Amino acid sequence: MADLVSDDLCMTFTNPQTGAAVEALKDINFTLKKGELLSVLGPSGCGKTTLLNMIAGFINPTSGNVALGGNVIEGPGVERGMVFQQGALFEWLPVSKNVDFGLRMKKTDKAESEALVEKWLDIVGLQGFGDTPTYQLSGGMQQRVALARCLVNDPDVILMDEPLGALDALTREKMQSLVLELWKETGKTIMIITHSVEEALLLGERLFVMAPRPGRIHKEYNLPFAERGLKESLRDIKQDAHFSEVREEILTMIWNMEEEIMGRA
Amino acid sequence: MLNWLSDHRASIAAVIILLLVIGFVYSIYVGRKQTKLRSKDEVFGDPERTRGGWYWSLCGISALMLVWFYFSWGIGRAYFPDAANEMCQIAKLEEAVSPIKAALPIGSRYYKSTTLVARNANQLAVIEAQLPTAAFTSDEQAQLTKIIGSTRRLLAVSSDPANQSQASRDQLTSLSSDIEALSAKLRQGPGDRTPSAEALAQPRWGTTHIEIPLLPETAKGILFDEVAVSAKEVAKTFNKIRNNPPANEAIIAETRAEIDAIKAANKSGSFDEDTAATRNAYVKSVERIFKRLDDGHIFPAASLDGVNAAIADLDDAKGEAKGGLGIVDALFFPGDGVVKSRTQCTEQSSGRWLPKPTDVVATFFRLANPDIESGGGFKGTTLLWWKWLPIGDVFAFFTPDWIADILPGEYARHSADGTVTPNFKDGVLAFAQGDINLGSVPMLDGHIWDSLFRVLVALGLGILLGVPLGIYMGVSRFFKSFFDPLIELYRPVPPLAWAPLILTIFGIQDDGKIFLLFMVAFAIMVISARTGASGTQLTKIRASHSLGASDGQILRNVILPNALPEILTGIRIAVGVCWGTLVAAEMLAGTTGVGFIENVARTVSDYELIWVTILIMGLLGLAFDLMMRWVIGKLIPWRGKG
Ligand SMILES: Nc1ncnc2c1ncn2[C@@H]1O[C@H](COP(=O)(O)OP(=O)(O)OP(=O)(O)O)[C@@H](O)[C@H]1O
Ligand SMILES: [Mg+2]
C-alpha cells in the first residue's frame, strides 16, 4: 500500500529582495496508487518541476504535505528515484560506476552489485558499455544510463522531469517504448513531466493538465493509450481517432492558458 | 672531454650557427610549402590551423638562437676569433690619444681653450656685478674692479696669436710631427711582426674571467699596440705644453700684488663678523678665477689647428690600418665594440650583458659538476646531486625537543664515580635531537633541490590544508563567511611584502621561506577548491541525494571530483606563483637555492651566471607546467565535457 498522496500541497516562493510572492502551487490534492503511470502537462511556469521537487524531497512545501505509503516526505530518499532532463550523470565515472553509485553508497556486496549493474545495463540496452566514460555517450544513451542508475536502487516511485526533452524524435520514440516496458516489467509508480502532449498521452495512464498562477491541477484524464502502447506500435496509436481528439482538446486548453498569460503579462 | 669542449667553444659555436642557419632556411622552405598545400582545406579561423607546424617551431627556435648568437657576439667570436684581440689593441690606441682628443674639437666639439675663455669671461661678468659695495671702501672697490679688468686682459692676451710664447709654438709643432710620424707608421702596415710567446700562451677569448686577451696576437695587433705605446708618450708631452705669453708676465705680477694687498687689509682691519666674511669670500672668488688664468692653459685657437688636423689624420690612418676589421666590427660586433679600461679590454653593449650561448652552457656544466673540490658547484654546494641523509635527522625534524621534557622523571646526572648512565628520558632527547644513528638514506642535494624542496613542501602543505578548507567553504555558509574575510585580507598583499616580516619571525632558514610560499599556495588552493566545489551542478547533488548518499559521501564522491579540475588548475597556478616568489625570497636571504646564486651573481655582475640561473628557473618552471598539463590530461579527461 505504497500510495503517493498529496494533501492540500501549497508552495509559495518569496523573493528575498522584493518580497514579491509567487504562488507556484496551490492546494494540490491527488492520490497516485502503486503501479500507476502519471504524466503531467502544463504551460511553462505552472509549477510542474516544483511539484516533482517536493515529492523528491528537495524542497519543503509552505503548507500541506505529500506522503508515500503513509510517511510524510521530509527530504530526499532512496525510495523515490529521480531522472533529470539532462542526465546529471557523474562525468568522472564510467557507465558502470554511475549505475552502481547508489549501491556503493549503501555498501552493497560487490558481486551482487556487479550482477545488478549487468542486469540493468542489459535492460536499458547498454550491454558492454560498462567501462565507457559517460561523456563519450550520445544524449539518448546518457538518459538510459540515468534510468538504469535510478532503477538499480529499486525505488518505489520514479520521478522524471522532462527526461526525453533533449532527444531527437526517433530516439525519443524508442525511449518512450522503453519507459512503457519498464513500467510493465517493474510495476513501479512512475510520474513523468513532459512538454509534449503526444508523449503525455502515450505515457500517461493518468494525465494531469496543470494551470499557472496559482499552479493547480486544471483537469485530469484517465487514458487507455499507455496500456495499448504495451502491445501496439506507438505510431499506430498516434493515428487513432480518439488519440487525436484528446490531443486537440488538450492543445486547445494549454493554448488558451498561454494566451491568458500573455494577455496578462 | 668537457675541457676540450670548453677550449673549442668558438669552433663548436661556428658549427652550431651553421646548422641554425640551415635549419632556419629549411624550415621557412617547408613552412611555405605546407601553407600552400593546406590553404585549400582550411579557412581562416579554423582551429585546425594551430595544430602541428613543427617547422614554424624550428623556424622560431633557430631565429631566436641566431639572434642570441648575434647580439652576444657569438657569431663574431665563432668566425673571427682574433678580431677581439685586434680591437683591443685599437682600443689601447684610442685610450692613449683620448687626453689629446679631449682638448680638441675632434674629441669634444670645442677647443678646451674656447670653453675656458667662455666660462671665465662669464664668471668675471657675474662677479663684477656682485661687488658688495657696503663691505669695501670706494678705494678698495676701484682696486677690485681693476683686478677683475686685469684678469680679463689675461684672457685677451692669451687668445691673441701675436702674443703666443715661442716655446709653446715650437712644442706644438714638434707634437704635430710626432703624431704625423705615428700616422705614417700605421700607414706602412703591419709587415711581418710576430707575436711574443707570452702573447700566444694567453687563454683564448672568453674562456677565463678576463674576457679578451690583452697582449697582441697578430701582426696588425702588434702594430697598433706599438703605436699606442708611443701615443701615450705624445699625450703626456701634450699635457705639459703651456702658453705663457711674455705680455702676460707684467700683468700677472701686478695683479698678484694687488690681491695680496687687499688680503692683507682684510686681515689687519677690524670689521664686524658679517663684513669680514663678505670681504674674505669676495676676494677669494676673484682670486680663484685669476689663478685659473695665470698658468698658461689658454692657447690661441689657430695655434692648435695643426694638432687637431694631425689627430684627424691619425684617425684616418687608423681606419686604413684597420682594413677589413672595420667591416667585421660594424657587422658582427653590434654595439660599442671593445673598450680598453685601465687593466682589461671588455666587450661593450649587448656583448657585455648577453653572454654567448656556448659560454652559458659551459658555465652551466661548471656549476653542474658535482665534484666541489675540482671547482664544481657554487659556494660549496652542488647544483643538483645526492648525499647520504641520516634517518635520525629526519625524525628529529618532526620531533620537537619538548617531547622529552614533558616525559616524567629527570634527566640523568653524573654519579659519584664520575660516570653518566643515560636513562629513557635521555634516549628520547637524543632521538629528538637526531643524535641516534638509524642509518642513512640517499637524498637529493644541491641548490636546485633546495629550491624545489621549499616549493614542494609549501605546495604540499598548501594542498593538504587548503583543499579541505576550500571545499568546506564551497558548501558551508559558516565556513565561507567565517574564513573569506581572513583569506581575502592577506591574499591581495604581494607575497614579497610579507617577506621581511616572515623572515624575521621564522628566520632566514627554510622555515621562513616555506611558510611564505605556504601562504601563497594556501590562498590559491582555497580559492580554487572553493570555486570548484561551489560550482557543482545542483542536479548532480540532488541526484546523489536521491540515490541515498550521505552528506559525507556526497562531499567525497561528487563535490571533490567535481572540483578536481579547478583544484589541479589551482595547483598549476600555485606552482608558478610559488616558484616566482621563492626566487625573490631567496634573493632576500639564505645561503642556498637558485635565487641565492642569482643574487650573488648580481652583486659581482657575472652575467653568464645570471643567465644560467634565469635559464634554470625557466626550464624548471616549464618542466613543472608540462608535468601538470600531463597530469591534468591524465586525471581529468572529462574536463569541460560534463
Ligand atoms: N527557487 C525559486 N524561487 C522563486 N521562484 C521560483 C523558484 N522555482 C520556481 N519558481 C517559480 O515558480 C513557478 C513554477 O516554476 P516551475 O519551475 O515549477 O515551472 P515548470 O512548470 O517546471 O516550468 P517549465 O515547464 O518551464 O519547466 C514559476 O513561476 C517560477 O518562477
Ligand atoms: Mg520545469
What's the ipTM? 0.91
Q: Which pTM does this prediction carry?
A: 0.77
Q: How far is the CA of B504 from the centre of ligand 1 (A)?
A: 58
Q: Tell me: the pLDDT tens digits for B407-451?
A: 888 888 888 888 888 888 888 888 888 888 888 888 888 899 989
pLDDT of residue A27: 87
- For residue A39, give the H/E element and its range: strand A37-41
**A77:B638 CB<8 A:** no
Res B642 pLDDT > 60: no
Nearest chain A residue to B564, by CA = A92
Question: In the Cβ-directed half-sphere of B609, how many Cα atoms lie within 13 Å?
Answer: 20
pLDDT band with cut points at 50, 70 and 90 for residue B383: confident
Whole-angstrom distance between the N-terminal and C-terminal Cα of chain B?
56
**Mutation to test the A interface, candidates B537, B541, B547, most A Cβ within 10 Å:** B547
Radius of gyration of chain A (CA): 19
Closest CA to B157 of B286, B294, B305, B304: B294
Res A217 pLDDT > 80: yes
* Mean pLDDT to the nearest integer, A61-81: 87
In angstroms, the CA B42 to CA B421 distance is 86
Nearest chain B residue to A147, by CA = B543
CATH of segment(s) B448-635: 1.10.3720.10
Burial readout A221-238 (b: 16 or more C-beta within 10 A, e: otherwise)? bebebbebbeeeebeebe
Q: Is B613 helix (H, G, I), strand (E, B) or coil?
A: helix
Of B67 and B40, more confident: B67
Q: Tell me which residue in B548, B550, B562 faces A153 most closely, judged by beta carbons.
A: B548
List of chain B residues whose C-beta atoms are within 8 Å of the C-beta of residue A58: 542, 545
Instruction: Give A168-201 as a DSSP string.
Output: -HHHHHHHHHHHHHHHHHH--EEEEE-S-HHHHH
Res B10 pLDDT > 90: no
Long-range contacts of B100-106 (CB under 8 A, 24+ apart): B100/B179, B100/B234, B100/B235, B100/B238, B100/B307, B100/B311, B101/B311, B103/B238, B103/B304, B104/B304, B104/B307, B104/B308, B104/B311, B105/B308, B106/B308, B106/B311, B106/B312, B106/B315
Domains annotated for chain A, with CATH where assigned, are 4-196 (3.40.50.300)
Q: How far is the CA of B638 from the centre of ligand 1 (A)?
A: 31
C-alpha cell at A74: 521530509
Question: Is residue A8 a contact partner of residue A170, using CB atoms and an 8 Å limit?
Answer: no
Res B266 pLDDT > 80: yes
Delimit the domains of chain B by residue range: 2-71, 79-354, 385-445, 448-635
Q: Tell me which residue in A88, A101, A133 faces B539 most closely, judged by beta carbons.
A: A88
For ligand 1, residues with CB inside 6 Å are A 13, 22, 24, 42, 44-50, 215
The amino acid occupying position B402 is W
Q: How far is the CA of A25 from the centre of ligand 1 (A)?
A: 10
Res B93 pLDDT > 70: yes
Of A170 and B159, more confident: B159
In angstroms, the CA A47 to CA A22 distance is 10
In angstroms, the CA B178 to CA B123 distance is 37
DSSP state of A234: H
Nearest chain B residue to A107, by CA = B549
List of chain B residues whose C-beta atoms are within 8 Å of the C-beta of residue A91: 638, 641-642
pLDDT of residue A225: 79
Cβ of residue A59 closer than 8 Å to a chain B Cβ: no
pLDDT band with cut points at 50, 70 and 90 for residue B287: very high
pLDDT of residue A265: 53
C-alpha cell at B161: 696669436
Q: Tell me: the pLDDT tens digits for B275-285?
A: 888 999 999 99
For a pLDDT cut of 70, what percent of chain B falls above it? 99
pLDDT of residue B351: 87
Q: Tell me which residue in B539, B561, B562 faces A84 most closely, judged by beta carbons.
A: B539
For the packed helices B83-102 and B219-240, what is the interaxial angle rounded to 10 degrees?
10
- Phi, psi values for residue B443, rounded to 5°: -140, 145
In angstroms, the CA B275 to CA B272 distance is 6
* Mean pLDDT to the nearest integer, A233-244: 81
Q: Tell me: the pLDDT tens digits for A102-142?
A: 888 888 888 888 888 888 888 888 888 888 888 888 888 88
Q: Tell me: the pLDDT tens digits for B522-560?
A: 999 999 999 999 988 888 999 999 888 889 999 999 999
The dihedral through the CA atoms of B522, B525, B531, B534 has a sign that is negative
Res A74 pLDDT > 70: yes
Closest CA to B346 of B611, B612, B85: B85
* Mean pLDDT to the nearest integer, B587-602: 87
In angstroms, the CA B34 to CA B30 distance is 6
Please report where in the chains the cell 708676465 appears, as a residue. B249
Q: Tell me: the pLDDT tens digits for B139-187?
A: 889 999 999 999 999 999 999 998 888 889 999 999 999 999 999 999 9
Left, alpha or beta for A14 (phi > 0: left; psi -120 to 50: alpha)?
A: beta
pLDDT of residue B135: 86
pLDDT band with cut points at 50, 70 and 90 for residue B97: very high
Res A85 pLDDT > 70: yes
pLDDT of residue B640: 65
**Mutation to test the A interface, candidates B544, B546, B558, most A Cβ within 10 Å:** B546
